[in-house]
Amino acid sequence: MKHFFQDNKAFIISSLTGILVLSYFLMFYSKTELHIAVNEQHTPYFDFFFKYLTHLGDALVTYILVVILLFEKYRLALLLMVSNLIETVFVQGIKNSFTSYRPKKYFEEFVPDYTLYLVPDVKVHSYMSFPSGHTATAIVMFFFLAIWLAKGKPLVQVLFFLVAFVTAFSRVYLSQHFFIDVCAGIFFGLISVMLGYWWIMGIKSAKLDGKLSFKKS
């Protein structure tokens, strides 16, 4: 694991910095104040951009990549799949443990004097806000891409994190989550990949280093 942290420190440090920055704002501002600050910045361009960018956090995108990876190396496909499953257990376990209102329901109940702007044609959910599953899934996918494609390339790793972070921000912009949900999502996504890497890379099996092929043996 020592080489793992060394090879991927740019993505890890970027993620921890993101968590610290969000935590700083959450210490001095309420989640209501932070959400209103974002909600008042809507433009037609950003509505369109975030409406579609947010799908990078869909589990379907991750599993499409898993299928593609079967033709690259089984171990890579298994690493991504297991990391995503660990993240799902973390996130869904917490979501189902207690009731947490998403912004739309929260504002209806506790801040009725403020009317949230909601992006047209986006289905906004009301419950199971904490933590953000889309954020965790995006972190898992882009952390994996950093491990696979950007080993020892700090600038590329930072770029991968920034794409994941903007995807996470889209959840706040679309009023699907609060910043505290996103902060937790980054943490659980990061931890899930570390656990998945420790598990899958520790399996000594030559079969895992094979791949699917349409060529006849």
Secondary structure (H, E, C), 10-72: HHHHHHHHHHHHHHHHHHHCCHHHHHHHHHCCCCHHHHHHHHHHHHHHCHHHHHHHHHHHCCC
The residue type found at 209 is D
Start-end of H helices in 70-178: 74-95, 103-110, 133-149, 154-173
The C-alpha angle 112, 36, 116, rounded to 5 degrees, equals 50
- The 10s digit of each residue's pLDDT in 42-70 is 999 999 999 999 999 999 999 999 999 99
How far is residue 32's CA from residue 204's CA, in Å, rounded to a whole number?
49
How far is residue 196's CA from residue 13's CA, in Å, rounded to a whole number?
19
How far is residue 205's CA from residue 183's CA, in Å, rounded to a whole number?
36
Q: List b or e across 30-53, with b for residues whose CB sees 16 or more CB atoms inside 10 angstroms.
A: ebeebbbebbeeeeeeebeebbeb
Long-range contacts of 104-109 (CB under 8 A, 24+ apart): 104/175, 106/32, 106/178, 107/32
Task: CATH number for 2-202: choose from 1.20.144, 3.30.1660, 1.10.10, 1.10.8.
Answer: 1.20.144
Predicted local confidence at residue 92, as pLDDT: 96
How far is residue 103's CA from residue 108's CA, in Å, rounded to a whole number?
8
Cβ atoms 173, 206 nearer than 8 A:
no
pTM value?
0.96
> What's the DSSP call for residue 204?
-
- The 10s digit of each residue's pLDDT in 105-135 is 999 999 999 999 999 999 999 999 999 999 9
- Structure tokens that stand for 145 in this block: 């891409």
Query: Model confidence at 28, in pLDDT bands (50, 70, 90)?
Result: very high
Domain extent listing, the chain: 2-202
Predicted local confidence at residue 179, as pLDDT: 98
Predicted local confidence at residue 182, as pLDDT: 98
- Structure tokens that stand for 174 in this block: 């679309």
C-alpha 97, offset from chain centre: 20
How far is residue 142's CA from residue 189's CA, in Å, rounded to a whole number?
10
